[in-house]
Amino acid sequence: MTDVAIADAVDAYLQRKAVGDPNGSGAGTYASNAESILRRWAEWLKHDHDLTAIDALEVDHMRAYATELHRRTERGEYTASTAGTYYAVVRAFCSWCVRGGILEANPAATDRAETALPTTEERPTSDSWTAQQRRELERHVRDRALETAAHSASERRTRLREYAMVAVLAHSTVRGAELFRVPDDDRRTGATWQDVDFYTGTIRVLGKSQRLEDVPLPARARTPLRRYRVVLDPPSTDWPLFPTGHAPSIAARVRSVLRERGYEDATIETMLEDATAMELARERSIAPPAITTEGARSVLRRRCDAAGIDVDGDYLTPRGVRRDRTDEPYRQEATASKPTLRASVLEQAIAVPADRPSSADIAPRDGNDPPDTD
């Protein structure tokens, strides 16, 4: 048995899958989607199990991976089907290793490992929430948002952010893992303002298929999002829809970007002494990290507590906010034929003052945007 590093085996597998696609079978697309999954899996094995050699991979490692996917599903970061897809990609890779003679058997293709995966029948308890309970939460955050006149700019942003977050989850088919940042998943960094097209009423997200999809944003989701954008006033379109409020994370991002721009550490620390990390991020147009899926759950938990909404001690999670639908609006795979709105164009838009009362219903990106009707 040849001693091969997992990372090297992954590289060889991806190269083999990506080489040529003469009959349009989709092998190149598969390799692109599988790459991030396999590289995160390899990093997880190295970090959590100090495992780097493919011939040392055992059933217990794959059971631990399945358990990790299950935990993430319970936290609302993945759906059960997404977790299953991730595991299936790793299992296919291991099968390839067996055929290539670098593994004796596939440790992922065993009952012991696979029984730890979440099943498609498993649903978070928040999915049992009724439409009435969801309406109560939306009414609560809407009323808070409409009471912003007597509050500071920071408080207005917070309240309108909560309203926009709930409205987008409640009135579109966007999932929490598509809207917010998923830790340890370098492809799911959170939706940005560049992804939102108010004119066509869509948002571009990385779907469960690991492909970009254009998802409809109904008027009841767009209007709160517009109002929130006016007070957020993002300095660039790569700014996340829902930035994190975690100061250390923002400071870490600011330091990292400023170092990349050639600033010395001493100079950066002096800058941070004269301004907060968020103020410096705005001044230097450095997009902060998006709020994580767990952070969004915390926001919803606080609002549920404040509204007195409780179901046997549970609270509404991002998945639970979504309406039950039997005919969800279609999702269209993003293609090059649909114009992509670039930052260089959008940044030329005229900024709307946040304190102008009539600006709440003005489209912040495009003056030709047709008005919404609820």
Chain mean position to CA 267: 33
Please tell me the distance from the alpha carbon of residue 91 to that of residue 109, in angstroms, as a whole number. 6
Give the pTM: 0.60
139-148 contacts, C-beta under 8 A, 24 or more apart: 140/303, 140/306, 140/307, 140/309, 141/165, 141/166, 141/303, 142/167, 142/224, 145/224, 145/227
Report phi then psi at 40, rounded to 5: -65, -40
Which pLDDT score is estimated for 350? Answer: 25
Mean pLDDT within 203-221: 87
pLDDT of residue 283: 93
First vs last C-alpha separation in the chain: 65
Residue-range domain boundaries for the chain: 6-114, 125-244+289-361
With a pLDDT cut of 90, the percent of the chain lying above it is 41
Q: Which of 76, 36, 299 is nearest to 177 (CA)?
A: 76
Mean pLDDT throughout 289-298? Answer: 91
Is residue 205 a contact partner of residue 179, using CB atoms and an 8 Å limit?
Answer: yes
Between residues 211 and 7, the one the model is more confident about: 7
pLDDT at 339 over 50: no
- In this predicted structure, what is the pLDDT of residue 282? 94
Among 42-51, 96-105, 347-356, the least confident range: 347-356
Identify the band that residue 8 occupies on the pLDDT scale cut at 50, 70 and 90: very high
Listed range (49-53, 61-65, 105-109, 316-320) with the worst mean pLDDT: 316-320
> pLDDT, tens digit, for every residue of 133-171?
788 889 999 999 988 666 788 899 999 999 999 999 888
- The CATH number that domain 6-114 falls under is 1.10.150
Q: Report the candidate in 70, 74, 45 with the shortest Cα–Cα distance to residue 60.
A: 45
Assess whether pLDDT exceeds 60 at residue 312: no
pLDDT at position 322 is 60
| CATH code that applies to domain 125-244+289-361 | 1.10.443
- The label of the residue with tokens 């379109």 reads 237
> Which string of DSSP letters, residue by residue, matches 103-119?
-SS-TTSSHHHHTTSPP
- What pLDDT digit, counting tens, does each position of 49-81 carry? 999 999 999 999 999 999 999 988 888 778 788
Q: For 180-276, where are the alpha helices, taking DSSP H only? A: 219-232, 247-260, 265-274
- Whether the pLDDT of residue 127 is over 60: the answer is no
349/182: higher pLDDT: 182
For residues 366 and 180, the model is more confident at 180
Question: Who wins on pLDDT, 167 or 336?
Answer: 167
Per-residue confidence (pLDDT) for residue 30, from 0 to 100: 64
Per-residue pLDDT at 18 exceeds 80: no
Question: Over the chain, what is the mean pLDDT?
Answer: 79
Compute the average pLDDT of residues 168-182.
89
Q: Which of 200-209, 256-265, 320-329 has the lowest mean pLDDT?
A: 320-329
Could you report the per-residue pLDDT of 31-41, keeping only the tens digit for each? 667 888 899 99
What strand order describes the sheet that includes 332-333?
196-197, 202-206, 212-216, 332-333
- Whether residue 362 is predicted with pLDDT greater than 50 in this model: the reply is no
pLDDT band at 248 (very low <50, low <70, confident <90, very high): very high
